[in-house]
Structure 1
Amino acid sequence: MPLTLGRKPGQEIVLKDNQGREVRIEVMEADNMDYHDYMRLRITAPDDIQIIRGELIPGNDSKE
């Protein structure tokens, strides 16, 4: 089941697996107003977890 959340700059979302490992996603403050249609995210994850943009996964219908 999808979860939709609203976050402000400086706030984060934490994903935790059964072993207690965490992936942290933080909303960053936009420092360049030329990109007003975009959000900047800081993702922190264990080294063995790949972080891949959705549009780079074959067959994914993620918006570009």
Structure 2
Amino acid sequence: MDWVLKIISLLTAYILGSIPTSIWVGKIFYHIDIREHGSGNAGATNTFRVMGARAGFPVFF
């Protein structure tokens, strides 16, 4: 049963890690596509620069 929990944990982490949170935060709360602003990267640093810390911290974590 221990291996089942490990596989489920790995799959959950993979799925959660693949969610593009910076794009979602930009579109839902700021109505912008983060990939069209700043450096064009959809990462946390560009989100901090373009949308500020309020949007950058949730994207980072």
TM bucket by the smaller chain?
under 0.3
Give the alignment's TM-score, normalised by structure 1: 0.18
**Structure with higher helix content:** 2
TM-score, L = length of structure 2? 0.19
Q: Return the index of the structure with the highest Cα Rg.
A: 2
* Structure having the larger proportion of residues in strand: 1
